[in-house]
Amino acid sequence: MATTEAEVERVRELVASIPRGAVVTYGDIAAAAGLSTPRTVGWIMRTDSADLPWHRVIGASGRPAAHLASKQLARLAEEGVRIHDGRVDLRSARHDLMHSDAVPPDR
């Protein structure tokens, strides 16, 4: 399989390292984890999201998946994330993965 445990671990670390009141986009995670496409991130979330704060992971549209949207927004709002009429305020809630402790493989 292409996706190795290391890649999955990388994504998990990043997601788990997201501070309370902050969110990240799939594309950012994929880039920070060294993955090729955000699709892989979505796959990981779907398969192994039990131990991860998946509610802090949203799409680039500032809006999570339809099935989770309601819960995500409610939980994020509880953490102090700025919600803009059902949309997450990426402008200030977007967490900088590259500036976090979790450092990508090649950097």
- The binding site for DNA (CB under 7 A) comprises 1-3, 25-27, 36-43, 45-46, 49, 54, 59-61, 64-65, 67-68
CA distance 3 to 39: 12
Q: Which is nearer to DNA, 49 or 100 (CB)?
A: 49
Q: Which is nearer to DNA, 20 or 37 (CB)?
A: 37
CB of 2 vs DNA, minimal distance in Å: 3
CB of 34 vs DNA, minimal distance in Å: 11
Q: Residues with Cβ < 8 Å from 65, sequence gap 6 or more?
A: 59
Q: Which is nearer to DNA, 65 or 83 (CB)?
A: 65
The C-alpha torsion from 83 through 99 and 38 to 12, rounded to 10°, is -90
Query: What's the DSSP call for residue 22?
Result: -
Q: Are 15 and 57 in contact (CB under 8 A)?
A: yes
Q: Which is nearer to DNA, 21 or 59 (CB)?
A: 59
CB of 55 vs DNA, minimal distance in Å: 9
CA atoms within 13 A on the CB side of 25: 16
